[in-house]
Structure 1
Amino acid sequence: MDRRQLRAARRADASGSGPTLEEREPARYPGAKGAFALFGEVLLTGLLITVGGLLVVTLPAALAAGIRHLRRYVNAEQSHTRDFWADWRKALPGGVVVGLAATVIAVVLALDIVLANTGALPGGALIGVIGWAGLVVGAVALLAAAGAWTPETGWRPAVRGIPAVIAGDPLGAVYFAVAAVLTGVVTWMLAPLIIAGLGCSALAVVAIPARRTRR
């Protein structure tokens, strides 16, 4: 093996994209070995999701495309920006329906919270708590559905499978809720941070279910 071939072999070994030079178990996520590179990809994904979800009703399609983009990246598969937009276009028809339903539910819950805070409703504190809990549950359901969406199966099985996803991994659903709440908090603190929040939420959907197979 000459020096050029050796350098190429070392690069493939380091990235996890090729044969290893030493006998060892291959990396679980070969594309995510560089923390800084992964962070940059998460921010890029968050930006793509933000742009793709600007109309609000297009957010589910943008989330589904972003999750698939990051999943390809951490697996060291080809993952270009054009692949994100290709997935976004495929997810858009059914995703708009999901987005409309989610928007209506979110608006109703938000109005309940606002009314509860005015003190005009009896039991306003309880209604406010229920409203916030409903928003969190809706966010978890949206993340679960977006993570399950594929171009081959579409949105209907993804939405129908939400209860099974939550029941199959309750702790994972809690992690989803934490990711959703953190996204909301950082966005409330500074609006541009929604880019990082959405990117981290997409990464959570990729990473959290996979933790079960490590045991």
Structure 2
Amino acid sequence: MSIFSGERRAERAAIRDARSGAGPTREGVEPGPNPGAVAKFGLFGEVLTIGLMMALVALPVVTLPIALAAGIRHIRRFVAAEDSRASFFWADVRTGLLRSLALGVPAALLAAVLAVDILLAGSGALPGGQIVGLVGWAGLLVLAVALLIAAGEWEPELGWRAAVRAVPQVAFGDAVGTLYLAATAVFVGVVTWMLGPLLIAGLGCAALAVAAVPERRIPERRIR
């Protein structure tokens, strides 16, 4: 009896591994949706790892767009149980780094202007400071969401111009998804404000959110 029980357990484990992408595909067993996301602890570890790599790339600030784009592509490869070696992340960074500055530099300057407006509004030096402050925070949120969407649309073959052009269509075509990304941006900002090193986890979670939000519209492909 124990022999048969052991065989059944081994059979069930093999089927789970095949469906998750962790083991060889077996005849009659189809891999499940997003097999790389089945191992929850493994996905959590990958989010932290890619968050660290993204933080390193984003240190100059103006390189944040390519850090986001490369991290999102890495997470997509991981949840699809494709080859997700770190070398592919760095290859994406090298491919898109220089051209991403055309987006990263203006975005950083705009964020700096909005941050100064918020500080001045809080100091009481500006008339109508509360309104100015609200406009500044709203502007930062819109900028953050636009960066997340553009980074999610970036492909090495298409480049950054196509990614930026796709932002309005993606944002208005999936209003609920845009709200999710706005919540993600707020989450990253809050945890970073609470404790600076949490930016690493925040960036990884942002990459996962951008990869996951479009998938929710197709239930059979949803990340589980």
Using the size of structure 2 for normalisation, the TM-score is: 0.88
1:38 aligned partner: 43
- In 1, Cα distance between equivalents of 2:72 and 2:149: 11
Matched, 1:19 2:22: no
- In 2, Cα distance between equivalents of 1:166 and 1:14: 33
- In 2, Cα distance between equivalents of 1:149 and 1:14: 29
Q: Is the 8 A contact 2:18 2:31 kept in 1?
A: no
- In 1, Cα distance between equivalents of 2:39 and 2:13: 18
- In 2, Cα distance between equivalents of 1:8 and 1:186: 38
Q: Is the 8 A contact 2:50 2:71 kept in 1?
A: yes
Q: CA RMSD in A?
A: 2.1
- CA drift of 1:79 comes to 0.5
1:63 aligned partner: 68
- In 2, Cα distance between equivalents of 1:90 and 1:190: 32
Q: Using the TM superposition, name which of 60-69 and 8-17 deviates more.
A: 8-17
Cα distance per residue 1:15-50 (max 9 Å; x no partner): 236435666x64111011010000000000100100
Of 170, 179, 186, which aligns to 1:174? 179
- CA drift of 1:8 comes to 9.9
* Equivalent residue runs for 1:113-192 within 5 Å: 113-192=118-197
Cα distance per residue 1:182-206 (max 9 Å; x no partner): 1011011100000000000000000
What is the number of residues matched between the two proteins? 211
- In 1, Cα distance between equivalents of 2:106 and 2:141: 15
- In 2, Cα distance between equivalents of 1:142 and 1:35: 27
- In 2, Cα distance between equivalents of 1:191 and 1:40: 19
- In 1, Cα distance between equivalents of 2:127 and 2:26: 66
- In 2, Cα distance between equivalents of 1:163 and 1:20: 43
Any stretches of 5+ residues in structure 1 without a counterpart? none
Any stretches of 5+ residues in structure 2 without a counterpart? 1-6
Could you tell me the percent identity over the aligned residues?
A: 56
Q: Is the 8 A contact 2:76 2:211 kept in 1?
A: yes
- CA drift of 1:93 comes to 1.6
- In 1, Cα distance between equivalents of 2:93 and 2:157: 13
Q: Kindly report structure 1 stretches of 4+ aligned residues shifted beyond 6 Å.
A: none
Using the size of structure 1 for normalisation, the TM-score is: 0.92
